[in-house]
Amino acid sequence: MRALIVEDDPQLASQLAEALAGAGFVTDHAADGTQGEFLGATETYDVAILDLGLPGLPGIDVLTRWRDQGIAMPVLILTARGDWTDKVAGFRAGADDYAVKPFRLDEVVLRAQTLIRRAAGHARPVISAGTLRLDGQLGVITRDGVALKLTAFEARILTYLIHHQNRIVSRTELSEHLYEAESDRDFKSIEVVIGRLRRKVGDGVIETRRGEGYVLRAA
């Protein structure tokens, strides 16, 4: 999954990026509100972690502009302890959840994972897709109860397909959720990894729709 971190504290931003990477995310970072608003409006993310006290453009204004443009990605706002007015303003602007500073990094990761799962229509922390099970909190994908041995890139692709099972996911959509903003997006690499995943998850689980993309069948 791909996350946008909009945070002006470089140390905290680095810690958040490291914690999210440990949970299988790829991340982009914006150090001010202006850059954050631009990235959120021009790139595709599964979740945004947005500090409200930003230079350049306040976090509330960033969030308001995203929602005014119809950008519906889940947004987790970061607020100062005890400042309930920030929380109220954030939710009114369209925030989905909040974390109060100082917070535990694993709490933010779990909240981000929960927002992504719910946005894809999954209420439970373990998502089933046929013989596959994705436990987002543990970061484990199993087949018939046995944990699959996956590379980080394989895990990111399979996680996205499980979240969006039974619908066509184009190569462009996959690439937008797999790579950082400045990375080269290689469709051939995706095809190679999909081929490896087929051997690991079983025949017929991941279908290729020529000219359209891929479908992970939950049946």
pLDDT at 184: 67
Of 3.40.50.2300, 3.20.20.140, 3.40.190.290, 2.60.120.10, the CATH number of 2-119 is 3.40.50.2300
Name the H helices within the chain. 10-22, 33-42, 59-68, 84-93, 105-119, 152-163, 171-178, 187-201
pLDDT at 93: 92
Q: Give the separation between CA 128 and CA 28, rounded to whole angstroms.
A: 29
- Most confident segment among 64-78, 110-124, 134-148, 151-165: 64-78
Q: Give the separation between CA 121 and CA 126, rounded to whole angstroms.
A: 12
pLDDT at 81: 66
pLDDT band at 119 (very low <50, low <70, confident <90, very high): confident
How would you class 176 by CB atoms within 10 Å of its CB: exposed for 0-12, middle for 13-18, buried for 19 or more? Answer: middle
Distance of CA 117 to the CA centre of its chain: 9
Encoded tokens for 113: 């994972």
pLDDT at 79: 87
Residue 216, beta-bridge partner list = 206
pLDDT at 165: 92
Question: Does the structure show a pLDDT above 80 at 11?
Answer: yes
pLDDT at 63: 96
Break the chain into its structural domains and give their ranges: 2-119, 126-216
Q: Give the least confident one: 88-92, 136-140, 144-148, 174-178.
A: 136-140
Q: Give the model confidence (pLDDT) of 49-74 as tens digits.
A: 999 999 999 999 999 999 999 999 99
Distance of CA 29 to the CA centre of its chain: 14
Mean pLDDT, rounded, for 28-57: 95
Taking the alpha carbons of 86, 87, 88, 90 in that order, is the dihedral positive or negative? Answer: positive
Measured in residues, the chain has a length of 219
Contact 92, 116 (CB under 8 A): no
Percentage above 90 pLDDT, the chain: 59
How far lies 215's CA from each of 1, 26, 54, 167, 189, in Å? 17, 22, 40, 6, 17
Residue that the structure tokens 């996205």 belong to: 160
Q: What is the CATH architecture assignment of 126-216?
A: Orthogonal Bundle (1.10)
Q: What is the pTM of this model?
A: 0.78
Which amino acid type is present at position 206?
A: I
pLDDT band at 123 (very low <50, low <70, confident <90, very high): confident
Q: Give the model confidence (pLDDT) of 145-203 as tens digits.
A: 899 999 888 998 999 999 999 999 998 888 888 877 766 667 788 888 899 999 999 88
pLDDT band at 105 (very low <50, low <70, confident <90, very high): very high
